[in-house]
A and B are shown apart, each in its own frame.
Chain A
Amino acid sequence: MTVTVGTELPEQVFRVTRGDLVRYAGASGDFNPIHWSDRVATSVGLPGVIAHGMFTMALAGRAVTGWTGDPAALVEYQVRFGRPVVVPDDDEGAEVTVRGKVGALLDDGLARVDLTVTAGGEKVLSLARATVRLA
């Protein structure tokens, strides 16, 4: 794989349902009710149940590790949680789209990947960057 500045990662679309949030809550230990109860979510001013920000970060991470082919190659990873991903209580859920582009080639065989993560056409993560070791 030849990687240069501007190389684009394959776009990935992840479907997120309420069931996925329940599963992530159990696996991560984050049982905040805004991720499973509409009653609690709306009481704190949210439009409804929202995905865990860390779940969205994990999905965007998958787009990167799927591209490198090696989860261990992701050495640094950062995001800012911008907007919440609202997940309706239906079979379709929400769609999270991850696009990425190599922003810089660094020393020691590392590359910086700049990620654009959207749901419903809005950016949900900002300053999302991963540093990966190129094979």
Chain B
Amino acid sequence: MALDRELVGRSYPPSAVYEVGRGKLAEFAAAIGSDDPVHTDPAAARAAGHPDVIAPPTFAITVTLAAAMIVLDDPDVGIDYSRVVHGEQRFTHHRPIRAGDRLVATTTIDAARSVAGNDLLTARVDLATEDGEPVCTSLSMLVARGEA
């Protein structure tokens, strides 16, 4: 099914608050093999000018990908989840995510088009603190492969 361009600009209600914990950041840093102490040691993070330990740059995906996927629950989008692969990813960091952040994700359809039978949908997820401070903007292009 061809995607409707009218979907571009559609926004979804903000997510529940995601509280960033030191343990989760340390677990993620270990999983990607990063041993930089700014991810695990609050004193090292403070020495580098951060209020608390900071996330590796791609940690944001643990919050933003689930937020992006909510567009697939929209009946007007009409994409079958089982056909979807992650085509492109982009992060713009307004500041590093850090332990103690209480983040809210707001999802908007940034682009929608159909190319050669595949549906390409870009979901923008704006991560901000509960108080509205912008933290990270994530663009995830989801590709729904056409049923050949």
A residues lining the B interface (CB < 8 Å): 14, 20, 23-24, 26-30, 53-55, 57-59, 61-62, 65, 70-72, 74-81, 127
Contacts and interface: CB of A to CB of B under 8 A. Distances in A.
B115 to A, nearest CB: 14
Interface in B57-108: 57-58, 61-62, 65-66, 85-93, 95-96
A27 B30 contact: yes
A54 B61 contact: yes
Most chain A C-beta atoms within 10 Å of own C-beta, residue among B57, B85, B89:
B57
Nearest to B50: A72
Contacts of A61: 32, 56-58
10 smallest A-B Cβ distances: which pairs?
A27-B31, A78-B90, A58-B32, A58-B58, A74-B57, A27-B28, A80-B88, A72-B96, A23-B31, A24-B31
A132 B136 CA distance: 15
A1 B32 CA distance: 26
Contacts of B36: 65, 71
Contacts of B30: 23, 27
Contacts of B39: 71
Secondary structure at chain A's binding surface: helix, strand, loop or mixed?
A: helix
A65 B56 contact: yes
B44 to A, nearest CB: 11
B88 A24 contact: no
Given A26-B27, A26-B31, 16 more contacts: A28-B62, A30-B65, A54-B65, A54-B89, A59-B32, A62-B34, A65-B56, A65-B57, A70-B48, A71-B57, A72-B54, A72-B95, A77-B57, A78-B89, A78-B90, A80-B88
A65 B35 CA distance: 11
Given A54-B58, A54-B86, A74 B27 contact: no
Contacts of A54: 58, 61, 65, 86, 89
A27 B27 contact: yes
B33 A59 contact: yes
B121 interface: no
Nearest to B93: A75
25 contacts: A20-B31, A27-B24, A27-B27, A27-B28, A27-B30, A28-B62, A53-B89, A54-B86, A55-B32, A57-B58, A59-B32, A61-B32, A61-B57, A65-B56, A70-B38, A71-B56, A71-B57, A72-B38, A75-B92, A76-B91, A76-B92, A77-B91, A79-B88, A80-B88, A81-B89
